[in-house]
């Protein structure tokens, strides 16, 4: 399928969304690699990556809506699923970490008592 020409303004908006999403997702992954304990590492994927993937999907939604003439609803659904499931998985991981009494960095305020 040949790509239909896109007006430059729309192309710019799509590019901004894709790039911004990629940068935010990169920062989230960087946090995952850098932060010292599991609880702090959880913040990277639940937030930064959610926004990163969300922006990428908005870019994709705009592109395919234009190409196929009509709102491409699949990306919107993927975004919805992502927002609904990311906090649940983060919650389950945090719960598992609490159960196993994983160490958190010493300067953590009110660490949960074992």
Binding residues for other proteins, rule: CB under 8 A, are 24, 27-28, 30-31, 34-37, 39-40, 42-44, 46-48, 50-51, 54, 73-74, 77, 83-84, 86-88, 90-91, 94-95, 97-98, 104-105, 107-112
86, 46 in Cβ contact below 8 A? Answer: yes
Cβ proximity to other proteins, 14 vs 97, nearer residue: 97
Torsion angles phi and psi, residue 107, rounded to 5: -85, 0
**DSSP assignments along 78-93, one per residue:** HHHHHHHHHHHHHHHH
If one counts every other C-beta atom within 10 angstroms of the C-beta of residue 22, the result is: 15
Cβ proximity to other proteins, 6 vs 41, nearer residue: 41
Min CB(33)–other proteins separation in Å: 10
């Amino acid at each position: 399928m040949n790509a239909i020409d896109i007006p430059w303004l729309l192309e710019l908006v799509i590019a901004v969304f894709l790039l911004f999403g990629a940068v935010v997702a990169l920062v989230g992954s960087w946090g995952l690699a850098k932060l010292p304990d599991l609880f702090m590492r959880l913040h990277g994927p639940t937030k930064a990556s959610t926004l990163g993937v969300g922006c990428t999907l908005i870019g994709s939604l705009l592109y395919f809506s234009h190409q196929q003439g009509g709102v491409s609803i699949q990306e919107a659904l993927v975004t919805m699923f992502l927002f609904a499931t990311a906090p649940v998985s983060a919650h389950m991981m945090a719960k598992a970490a609490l159960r196993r009494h994983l160490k958190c960095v010493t300067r953590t305020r009110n660490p949960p008592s074992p």
